[in-house]
Amino acid sequence: MVPKYKRILLKLSGEALMGDKSFGFDNAVIAQYAKDIKSIVELGVQVAIVIGGGNIYRGMNEAETGIERAHGDYMGMLATVINGMAMQAGLEKIGVYTRLQSAIKMEQIAEPYIRRRAIRHVEKGRVVIFGAGTGNPYFTTDTAGSLRAIEINAEVILKGTRVDGIYTADPEKDPSAKKFNTITFQECISKNLRVMDMTAFTLCMENQLPIIVFDMNKPGNLLRVVRGEKVGTLVKG
């Protein structure tokens, strides 16, 4: 089976790693994600991953916490590195070679982010996990995912979520919400559909980088997406 995509960036939320817990990791979720990622690596797909940090630390309201925004964002970046290490451990446990790269230097646990080195790793079949966002406050991990995908010449961003695509409204709150199978960047903007934050979304739109939003919690879905099956919602130019 020849995959539709040769090089992808998988964007996962930190909250997804919690499973049914209220904080931290659910080992069963990490194991399932690792197994799904291994299935596409074995197909010959080159994989990079960006994970959020919301299961450990969310940029809280400065008025509530007394922590200024930039300081809080750096705390969130460190949370993404912890998540990257957890995902790395899950993948290596089942025989998938990985590299963790950080936008903030921490040589004892991660390589510094170097674009050409990241590309070389994925060419050699290693899964590269990008930690610490962009290395700058005021940018989300969605933006980091879009930026890294463009930098390594990924063909698509696969945004793994808890829902099976983009809907006219939140399907968890509105049972009458309708799902889009395909939608354009402009339609997302005009309908005010929050696929990603605006900076991340604009980066994808300007660079004609398609996004597929799909349910990562359904085992086998990731493999179906890279095979080109109609899973989730495709956002394109």
CATH assignment of the domain containing 206: 3.40.1160.10
Domain count, the chain: 1
Q: Is the pTM of this model over 0.85?
A: yes
Residue 134 maps to a domain = yes
What is the C-alpha separation between 23 and 95, in angstroms, rounded?
Answer: 27
Helix (H, G, I), strand (E, B) or coil at 160: strand
Q: What is the pLDDT of residues 213-222, one digit of tens each?
A: 999 999 999 9
Asked whether residue 133 is domain-assigned, the answer is: yes
Answer whether residue 100 is part of any domain: yes
Band the pLDDT of 58: cuts 50, 70, 90.
confident
Q: Which residue has the tokens 């597929």?
A: 212
Measured in degrees and rounded to the nearest 5, phi and psi for residue 64 equal: -80, -40
Q: Quote the CA–CA distance of 35 and 18 in Å, as a whole number.
A: 17
Q: What does the block give as tokens for 182?
A: 């395909």
Kindly state whether residue 1 falls inside one of the protein's structural domains. Answer: no
List the domain range (segments joined by +) for residue 164.
7-236
In a domain, 95, yes or no: yes
Residue range 157-183, pLDDT digits in tens: 999 998 899 999 888 889 899 999 999
The reply to whether 65 falls in a domain is yes
Q: Is residue 26 part of a domain?
A: yes
